[in-house]
């Protein structure tokens, strides 16, 4: 054992949810919708405590695609949080974002790809990126906290400034193993 | 046997929107989109030609972004049945400026008039009540629709869902633009937002 001082680098990279919150607030995101995932829990808490952001808990992920389009019609930016299993629920509703060129930013925590205990997560995990690309989304991936922060910053600009439909896949390796 | 609906859907929708003022309207794919367009191709209309099940939720995002404006989701029974979960999401979100009006012919009119769930005992208003909506009703006559239009114009402390039972028939189509980017930008310009 050495160096009792906490390494500031490590501390900030462990706290990537706070960094994502800071970036999304700086991008003036005013609505957030989600189906929960453990990997998103801190970000969900932070947005839920924010009076300037309207938060919607969804029964199924495609609802958030529609809410994001409605928010944009009304002049607000929205972000959608889900895990990879939810991507399959979204496919037809993504026609709306694609054909209407609505800004869309989805943050997708990956399951079924790294130290996964539940085999039922694997098929949709495999289908996540190809199905998003098949319906016309741009898919970006991050495997480290540093890369994730930079990727979400770039993705939010592409989505909200350039009217693009973006899914950021957050690698399961980054989130860590679920405790069973 | 339930009462056979007699109301013409176009007459009902025209009465509902006769004095819409600055209400923003999102229409579900199929007949509700044609009905809305047949009344007036208003800049505050957003027409769906797909995204089935999404009309009320687009209206939710819009209502949350524009709390000072009344927002109406005008949809059909088939479209709303595909978005049943959305009724729970809207019940929890509890917007005060969002109404859902289901033009209910109890059939999938666009695909050959197959019978839907609402003619077989499924009651969307009862689902909305169970999801905490502030008000619901089922109406069947022009007079009732006119009273409903007046009620919708007034304030509410939560979302409302109304079912308008109409004749199962397909009036001549009244087709709005299918260019969603154009309709989106026209809608946003109506609210004062510049195109990107």
CA–CA dist A118, B79 (Å, integer): 34
Using a cut of 0.90, tell me whether the model's pTM lies above it: yes
ipTM over 0.95: yes
* pLDDT score of A14: 77
- Tens digit of each residue's pLDDT (9 = 90 or more) over B5-32: 899 999 999 999 999 999 999 999 999 9
**CB–CB of B74/B101 below 8 Å?**
yes
Of B61, B184, B192, the CB nearest to A100: B184
Show residues of chain B in contact with A67, CB under 8 Å: 57-58, 60-61, 64
* pLDDT score of A10: 47
- Tens digit of each residue's pLDDT (9 = 90 or more) over B21-76: 999 999 999 999 999 999 999 999 999 999 999 999 999 999 999 999 999 999 99
Q: What are the residues facing B135 on neighbouring strands?
A: B160
CA–CA dist B77, B87 (Å, integer): 13
What 3 state SS string does B78-115 have?
HHHHHCHHHHHHHHHHCCCCEEEEEEECCEEHHHCCEE
Residue A130 CB partners (closer than 8 Å, separation 6+): none
* pLDDT score of A178: 65
Q: What are phi and psi of B46, to 5 degrees?
A: -120, 115
Show residues of chain A in contact with B93, CB under 8 Å: 54, 56
Of B50, B61, B192, the CB nearest to A67: B61
């Amino acid at each position: 054992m050495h160096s009792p001082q906490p390494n500031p680098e490590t501390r900030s990279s462990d706290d990537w949810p706070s960094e994502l919150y800071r970036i999304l607030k700086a991008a003036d995101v005013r609505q957030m919708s989600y189906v929960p995932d453990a990997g998103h829990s801190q970000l969900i808490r932070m947005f839920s405590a924010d009076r300037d952001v309207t938060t919607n808990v969804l029964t199924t992920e495609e609802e958030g695609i529609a809410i994001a389009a409605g928010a944009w019609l009304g002049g607000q930016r929205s972000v959608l949080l889900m895990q990879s299993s939810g991507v399959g629920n979204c496919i037809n509703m993504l026609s709306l974002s694609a054909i209407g060129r609505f800004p869309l930013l989805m943050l997708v925590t990956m399951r079924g790809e790294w130290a996964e205990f539940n085999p039922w997560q694997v098929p949709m995990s495999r289908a996540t990126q190809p199905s998003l690309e098949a319906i016309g989304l741009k898919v970006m991936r991050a495997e480290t906290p540093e890369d994730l922060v930079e990727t979400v910053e770039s993705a939010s600009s592409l989505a909200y400034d350039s009217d693009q439909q973006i899914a950021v896949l957050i690698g399961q390796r980054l989130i860590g193993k679920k405790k069973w | 046997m339930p009462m056979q609906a007699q109301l013409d859907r176009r007459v009902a929708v025209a009465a509902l929107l006769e004095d819409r003022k600055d209400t923003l309207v999102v229409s579900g794919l199929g007949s509700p989109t044609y009905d809305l367009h047949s009344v007036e191709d208003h800049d505050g209309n957003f027409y769906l030609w797909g995204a089935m099940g999404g009309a009320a939720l687009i209206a939710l995002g819009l209502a949350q972004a524009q709390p000072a404006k009344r927002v109406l989701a005008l949809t059909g029974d088939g479209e709303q049945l595909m978005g049943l979960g959305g009724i729970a999401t809207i019940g929890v979100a509890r917007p005060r400026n969002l109404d859902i009006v289901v033009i209910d012919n109890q059939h999938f009119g666009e695909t050959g008039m197959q019978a839907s769930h609402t003619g077989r005992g499924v009651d969307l208003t009862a689902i909305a009540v169970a999801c905490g909506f502030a008000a619901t009703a089922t109406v069947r006559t022009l007079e009732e629709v006119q009273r409903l239009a007046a009620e919708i114009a007034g304030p509410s402390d939560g979302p409302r869902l109304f079912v308008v039972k109409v004749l199962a028939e397909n009036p001549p189509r009244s087709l709005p633009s299918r260019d969603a980017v154009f309709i989106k930008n026209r809608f946003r310009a109506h609210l004062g937002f510049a195109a990107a």
